[in-house]
Amino acid sequence: MNFLAHIYLSYEDPELKIGNFIADSVKGKKFLEYPRRISQGIKLHRKIDSYTDSHEIVKQSISRLSSKYGRYSSVIVDILYDHFLAANWKEYSSIPLEDYTLSFYDLLQDHYKILPKPIQHFLPYMIRDNWLLSYATVAGIGSVLSGMNRRTKNRSKMNFAVIELEEYYTDFEKEFRSFFEELELFTKNEMRKL
């Protein structure tokens, strides 16, 4: 799952949200250097990723892309799934997506000093372009995929994956919905163990 899903799956726990958001920039046991609840958010993120990577529905989505995008297919699916969460946001939250994202950016700015350097670096761009809100549109996802392609020095060709998103939109959305329902149950169960 990508940024929006990880944030959403922390529900309304601010420190858990921060940990879940920064986890990819925290390697190995470095999570132990963070306050307890943020550390738990990092561990929750890793559990969500592990569950996602091994799930048959996700593998089905990835297989639709793998011949063209190879090892980048799973990253693309994470981003596409965030699109479906954002596009159908009203089904998941009573807080409008724009308000939700702005509130989250405020949370990050309030905790700026403890964010890992890579996050501190891209945060101004994330806020300026409102990445999380942009996920709700196909054009926004196209921009995200183009940015990811640039980060791979154009090796991934992820910028073209918007073509598959449009061509198989209904299939991807159906897979997302089925998977996300299971992921929410998994996450709530894992949160009880924290």
Distance CA 109, CA 160 (A): 33
Q: Where are the beta strands (DSSP E) in the chain?
A: none
Q: Tens of pLDDT along 98-136?
A: 999 999 999 999 999 999 999 999 999 999 999 999 999
Say which DSSP state 122 is in: H
Please report the pLDDT score of residue 1 as a whole number: 76
What local confidence, expressed as pLDDT, does residue 54 receive? 97
Token pair 């995929």: residue: 145
Closest CA to 108 of 120, 98, 99: 120
Angle between helices 36-53 and 169-193 (to 10 degrees): 140
| Overall residue count recorded for the chain in this entry | 194
Which of the residues in the chain have pLDDT under 50?
A: none
Residue 141, pLDDT score: 96
Per-residue pLDDT, 194:
84
Buried b (16+ CB within 10 A) or exposed e, 112-139: eeebeeebeeeeeebbeeebbbbbbeee
Residue 88: predicted pLDDT: 98
**What pLDDT shows up at residue 144?**
93
Using alpha carbons, select from 192, 190, 158 the residue that is nearest to residue 44.
190
Listed in sequence order, the residues at least 6 apart from 77 whose beta carbon sits closer than 8 Å to its beta carbon are: 58, 61, 62, 65, 172
